[in-house]
Amino acid sequence: MGNKYPENVEKIVDDYLSRVRSNMKGLPEIDKDDFIKEIDSHIYESYTDEKNGDEVGKILKVLKKFGEPSEVFTKSAPKAMYKIGKEKNIPLYILIGALIAIFGLPLGFGGLGIILGILGVLGGLVVAYYAVAISFTLGGFAGIIASIIHIIDPDFFLTLTGETDMIRVGFLQISNPTLEGVLGIFFSFVLAALGIFLLFMSKYIFRGLKTIWELASKKLKEILKRNKKST
């Protein structure tokens, strides 16, 4: 940086600039050099403007006014400056990359079908999942109730259908209604538990899918918008 300062001041400035540099992660070297050159120039101007105090006192005052490197250059700065677009876009690029790898098709104009396909499959998957989970839960509870009724009144379902003359055999084909009822309760309970478990797990399972869904629908909107413009 030349010999523009007294030796001890030079040391302080060099140390400061190296701390600034170490806080500029993710910047191209050429930009770092430019930044450092500019800040060095600033510090020099500020130092020569400072009239009061001894050399070290002056430079410390100047650097204090400039700010702590970590404060000046991390929160506001280079990273944010060089980040193109929002963070959310990054997974989209990964998704597109994966799709190109799988289907060998770029997701441009011709990718519309694929996006629609993905949305369709995801939608179907979610609907099917909830359908299964809900029917398991409801079916389980219904089974429990039916089994209890079966124990209390073995003939209930037969009278319900009006077939009183039939042999008293229930849904599990066991002739002892109480045993059948207990087994029925047990299986129904397992079924209901499974259904509830599936419902409970859905928020974890679909967490990843939700992201893909959002990305895909966002992409779809973009494609549609582009198509609208071109036609």
Partner 1 sequence: MENKIKQLRKGVFELVILQVLKKDKYYGYSLIKAITDNCNFDINEGTIYPILSRLAKEEVIDSQWVESSKGPPRKYYMITNHGKEILKGLEKEFKDLTALVLNTKTMKKKSGRKPLSDKKKIYPTREEKNGK
Residue closer to partner 1 by CB (options 42, 168) is 42
Residues that bind partner 1 (CB under 8 A): 2, 4, 31, 34-35, 37-42, 44-46, 48, 65-69, 71-73, 75-78, 80-81
User: Alpha helix locations (H) across the chain?
Assistant: 7-22, 29-49, 55-66, 69-70, 78-82, 89-103, 112-152, 156-161, 177-230
Q: Nearest approach, Cβ of 116 to partner 1 (angstroms)?
A: 21
Task: State whether residue 67 is helix, strand or coil.
Answer: coil
Q: Nearest approach, Cβ of 98 to partner 1 (angstroms)?
A: 25
Tell me the C-alpha to C-alpha distance, in Å, between residue 102 and each of 66, 95, 189, 218: 52, 10, 43, 20
Residue closer to partner 1 by CB (options 4, 11) is 4
Task: State whether residue 195 is helix, strand or coil.
Answer: helix
DSSP state of 142: H
Cα 66 from Cα 58, distance rounded (Å): 12
Q: Nearest approach, Cβ of 163 to partner 1 (angstroms)?
A: 45
Q: Nearest approach, Cβ of 57 to partner 1 (angstroms)?
A: 18
Q: Nearest approach, Cβ of 223 to partner 1 (angstroms)?
A: 21
DSSP state of 204: H
Residue closer to partner 1 by CB (options 84, 160) is 84
Residue closer to partner 1 by CB (options 80, 160) is 80
Cα 130 from Cα 94, distance rounded (Å): 28
Q: Nearest approach, Cβ of 46 to partner 1 (angstroms)?
A: 6
Q: How do the residues of the chain divide into helix, strand and coil, expressed in percent and rounded to 5?
A: 80, 0, 20
Of 175, 218, 158, give the one whose Cα is nearest residue 183.
175
Residue closer to partner 1 by CB (options 207, 229) is 207
Residue closer to partner 1 by CB (options 157, 206) is 206
